[in-house]
Structure 1
Amino acid sequence: MILRGKCHKFGNDVNTDYIISGKYKFKTLDMNELARHVMEDLDPDFYNKITPGDFIVAGSNFGCGSSREQAPLAIKYAKIGAVIAKSFARIFYRNAINTGLPVIECDTDKINAGDELEVDLSKGIIRNLTTGEDIPIKPLPEVMIKILNDGGLIEHFKKYGTFNF
């Protein structure tokens, strides 16, 4: 799986309320509506800046906070290609994989806002097309790549009628 897009950079400890504010989570279950408000507490114009396939890049502990699946789903519905961070809150990480949103762990210090990136999940590398630098990523287990390729755990289950690991 190869992904390409532009970096939108955030800091450490981006919690699920920053990803999608609670004031929206309780008003609607329409994921397309929630997607329009992704990251707006940190960047009010975020949704208007992104194009399909772009990346959210952050520091450590991305997705801390509640265990609701709305945060990774809202990111996915905003057509973000993946979230790249130094580390993730464990529940957010699993929810993201289960919903089909790639989450990638690596050192993000050499990735800057606006950098064009190419992520090769199979090879375990991010190529920063802006700087020419290669950044190794923490490899995803094959089972997670299979789930992501199928579009998430539910789609994987529909495809195989069971868990095909």
Structure 2
Amino acid sequence: MRRGPAYIFGDNINTDIISPPQYMELSVEEAAPWTMSGVDPDFATRAKPGTIIVAGRNFGSGSSRELAPLSLRHLKVGAIVAKFFARIFYRNAINLGLPVVECADADKIRQDDDLEIDFAAGRIRNHARGEEYFCSVLPPHILELIREGGLIAHLKHQLAAR
């Protein structure tokens, strides 16, 4: 479960928008302040830890660079909800421990709505509007991977257990 304020973006938010290419040579820490700056120059300072990004169609299209989800994770984004994701971004986000779910009703959510996502049940509760939306379910093995901080942390945990 994750709970946080909604931060709204539209359709076709690609990896160049999420993580502008002119900052690719910087470390994640140095690049993160520029996250989403092409569409919202204040995003990195306004987004609070736990913020839930809500977007339209095709979130994360473009290149496969991990800096896009890494920058969002560095800013402590709690989750991303979108109508649908570019597949490679979707998997990169999960591999980095950033939960992502698809929701056909994402456009019903407004800026700063108080959201609570139940990943196992596939439900988003909008406390600000008294509404509930269905979203994709994250299976137990993916939830475990996210809980452990991503694929690398999960594999380290698995190896240590042997």
CA distance in 2, matches of 1:137, 1:74: 24
Query: Which residue matches 1:115?
Result: 113
Q: Secondary structure at the match of 2:107?
A: coil
Query: Which residue matches 1:24?
Result: 23
CA distance in 1, matches of 2:91, 2:42: 28
Residue 41 (str. 1) matches residue 38 (str. 2): yes
Q: CA deviation at 1:142?
A: 2.1
Query: Which amino acid in structure 2 is aligned with residue 8 of structure 1?
Result: Y
Q: Secondary structure at the match of 2:34?
A: coil
Query: Which amino acid in structure 1 is aligned with residue 116 of structure 2?
Result: E
Query: Which residue matches 2:123?
Result: 125
CA distance in 1, matches of 2:155, 2:22: 32
Query: Which residue matches 2:159?
Result: 161
CA distance in 2, matches of 1:66, 1:115: 30
Q: CA deviation at 1:83?
A: 0.9
CA distance in 2, matches of 1:141, 1:6: 24
Query: Which residue matches 1:71?
Result: 68
Query: Which amino acid in structure 1 is aligned with residue 78 of structure 2?
Result: G
CA distance in 2, matches of 1:72, 1:45: 18
Give yes or no for contact 2:122–2:135 (8 Å, CA) kept in 1. Answer: yes
Query: Which residue matches 1:134?
Result: 132
TM-score in terms of structure 2 length: 0.95
Query: Which amino acid in structure 2 is aligned with residue 33 of structure 1?
Result: E
Give yes or no for contact 2:120–2:139 (8 Å, CA) kept in 1. Answer: no
Residue 95 (str. 1) matches residue 92 (str. 2): yes
- After superposition, the C-alpha distances for 1:28-54 in whole angstroms (9 at most, x for unaligned) are 1x2122221111111011111111000
Q: Secondary structure at the match of 1:119?
A: strand
Q: Which runs of 4+ in 1 moved over 3 A?
A: none
- The size of the alignment, in residue pairs, is 160
CA distance in 2, matches of 1:149, 1:48: 26
Q: Secondary structure at the match of 1:42?
A: coil
Between the aligned residues of both structures, percent identity stands at 48
Structure 2: stretches of 5+ with no match in the other structure:
none
Query: Which residue matches 2:102?
Result: 105
TM-score in terms of structure 1 length: 0.93
Q: CA deviation at 1:80?
A: 0.4
